[in-house]
């Protein structure tokens, strides 16, 4: 079977949709090598092509029109290339599929990660909301199957796009292999020294934006003796956090990092005393899975998708209640046996996200089209 992927994010996104695309294709290439996997992208990022043979399965726009207007190619003209390559199934990895697949008799699957732009429209420019809605609605209505990355996202698709729920399956995300190996004390100490971090700290990973709500954690630890490490790309919200930190003389306790290599990030997770993720809304929340695989206890939000990702052993809080966040942090920091229990149960829970389990679910998706 030949399966084509919309691989734009595979090559061009360092986080989020890029990680999802790379992990899914990696899992399929390992556990279902009987298929051929073609990656269609307007251009490539050299950092993700590690082997010369990888070039054999990459498809770029060809010809004057397609190379001049790569978005037109990706949204419509790509179908001619799919037909020429005799692709059996096209998989839109990031909520989009091109026009004309059904007419070309090419089966299609689309992955929907979230509908945040509809649940929280205040976070998006009106033009962006219009574009996202048009693309996602078309993909949901015209694809043969829809895969949601969580039950929460599936519920949103049914509710907001009125898609029959039997057309949608839930297949969770996995995460990078770097998080699944035990890290040594020496690795942890070396990284802490390199980054000038303390022995114990809270960790948060994700874009530093209002929806992620990390300012609530900064406020919660104002009177607690625990540093906080925040890893992520800053947005305007970052300035709001900095202002609070300066007003309360917390500069020495809050550490901002970005640009870590994947292996360094995995060691950082394993070095943290507690991982805290008080986001208001996510399609899934992959950093929670990364923390559980790393053997780090998790505090996260008690609503939406977060219990799906965190499982029964994580600690859940109201992300809008500063005192509840503070209480949860104090409770875990003072109870090492509770943290050990959470780590043990968390490692057992995340087995459901192991590569072989996800591969079996994806093979079923493709074979039943």
Confidence of residue 359 (pLDDT cuts 50, 70, 90): very high
Instruction: List phi, psi (to 5°) of 102.
Output: -65, -40
pLDDT at 307 over 60: yes
pLDDT, residue 48, reads 55
DSSP 8-state assignment for residue 124: S
Q: Are 89 and 369 in contact (CB under 8 A)?
A: yes
CATH of 177-351, one of 3.40.50.300, 3.40.50.261, 3.40.50.2000, 3.40.50.720: 3.40.50.2000
Interhelix angle 262-271/185-195, rounded to 10 degrees, is 100
pLDDT, residue 51, reads 46
pLDDT at 41 over 60: yes
Confidence of residue 19 (pLDDT cuts 50, 70, 90): confident
DSSP 8-state assignment for residue 208: B
pLDDT, residue 106, reads 97
Q: Helix or strand or coil: residue 265?
A: helix
What is the mean pLDDT of the segment spanning 99-126? 94
Q: Report d(CA 119, CA 154) in Å as an integer.
A: 13
pLDDT, residue 54, reads 58
What is the mean pLDDT of the segment spanning 203-226? 96
Tally the C-alpha atoms within 13 A of residue 350's C-alpha that lie toward its C-beta: 27
pLDDT at 123 over 90: no
Q: Report d(CA 231, CA 120) in Å as an integer.
A: 23
**CA distance to 233, 257, 258, 332, per residue, from 196 (Å):** 19, 11, 14, 24
Q: Report d(CA 369, CA 356) in Å as an integer.
A: 21
Is 2-171 a CATH 3.10.129.10 domain? no
Same-fold call for 2-171 versus 177-351: yes
Average pLDDT, the chain: 94
What is the mean pLDDT of the segment spanning 200-204? 98
pLDDT at 255 over 90: yes
The tokens for 283 are 């399609």
Segment 241-254, tens digit of pLDDT: 999 999 999 999 99
Who wins on pLDDT, 15 or 199?
Answer: 199
5: alpha, beta or left, given left = phi > 0 and alpha = psi -120 to 50? beta
Domain spans of the chain, in order of start: 2-171, 177-351
pLDDT, residue 56, reads 78
Segment 151-165, tens digit of pLDDT: 999 999 999 999 999
pLDDT, residue 291, reads 98
| Rg (alpha carbons) of the chain, rounded to whole number | 21
Q: Are 321 and 135 in contact (CB under 8 A)?
A: no
**b/e 160-171 (16+ beta carbons within 10 angstroms → b):** ebebeeeebbbb
The tokens for 24 are 């899914």
pLDDT, residue 47, reads 56
Whole-structure pTM value: 0.90
| Nearest residue to 267 (alpha-carbon basis) of 299, 238, 231 | 231
CA 116 to chain centre: 14
pLDDT at 265 over 90: yes
pLDDT at 53 over 50: no
% of the chain with per-residue pLDDT over 90: 91
**CA distance to 114, 223, 225, 280, 311, per residue, from 149 (Å):** 8, 38, 37, 17, 15
pLDDT at 52 over 50: no
């Amino acid at each position: 079977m030949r399966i084509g992927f919309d691989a734009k994010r595979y090559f061009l996104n360092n986080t989020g949709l890029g990680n999802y695309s790379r992990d899914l294709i990696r899992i399929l290439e390992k556990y279902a090598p009987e298929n051929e996997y073609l990656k269609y992208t307007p251009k490539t990022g050299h950092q993700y092509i590690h082997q010369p043979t990888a070039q054999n399965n990459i498809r770029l726009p060809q010809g004057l029109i397609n190379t001049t207007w790569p978005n037109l190619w990706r949204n419509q003209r790509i179908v001619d290339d799919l037909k020429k390559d005799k692709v059996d199934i096209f998989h839109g990895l990031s909520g989009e599929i091109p026009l004309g697949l059904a007419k070309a008799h090419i089966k299609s699957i689309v992955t929907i990660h979230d509908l945040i732009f509809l649940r929280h429209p205040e976070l998006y420019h009106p033009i962006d909301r219009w574009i996202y809605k048009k693309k996602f609605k078309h993909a949901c209505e015209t694809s043969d199957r829809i895969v949601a990355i969580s039950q929460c996202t599936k519920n949103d698709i049914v509710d907001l796009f009125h898609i029959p729920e039997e057309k949608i399956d839930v297949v969770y995300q996995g995460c990078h292999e770097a998080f699944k190996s035990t890290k040594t004390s020496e690795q942890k100490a070396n990284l802490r020294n390199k980054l000038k971090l303390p022995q114990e700290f809270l960790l948060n990973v994700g874009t530093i934006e209002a929806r992620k709500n990390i300012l609530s954690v900064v406020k919660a630890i104002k009177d607690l003796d625990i540093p906080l490490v925040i890893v992520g790309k800053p947005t305007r919200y970052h300035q709001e956090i900095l202002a609070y930190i300066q007003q309360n003389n917390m500069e020495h306790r809050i550490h901002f990092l970005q640009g870590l290599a994947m292996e360094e990030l995995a060691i950082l997770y394993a070095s943290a005393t507690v991982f805290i993720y008080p986001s208001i809304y996510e399609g899934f929340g992959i950093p929670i899975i990364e923390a559980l695989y790393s053997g780090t206890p998790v505090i996260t939000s008690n609503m939406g998708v977060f219990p799906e990702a965190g499982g029964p052993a994580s600690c859940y809080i109201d992300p809008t209640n500063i005192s509840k966040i503070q209480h949860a942090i104090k409770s875990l920091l003072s109870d090492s046996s509770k943290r050990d229990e959470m780590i043990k149960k968390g490692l057992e829970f995340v087995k459901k996200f192991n590569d072989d389990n996800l591969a079996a679910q994806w093979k079923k998706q493709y074979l039943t089209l």
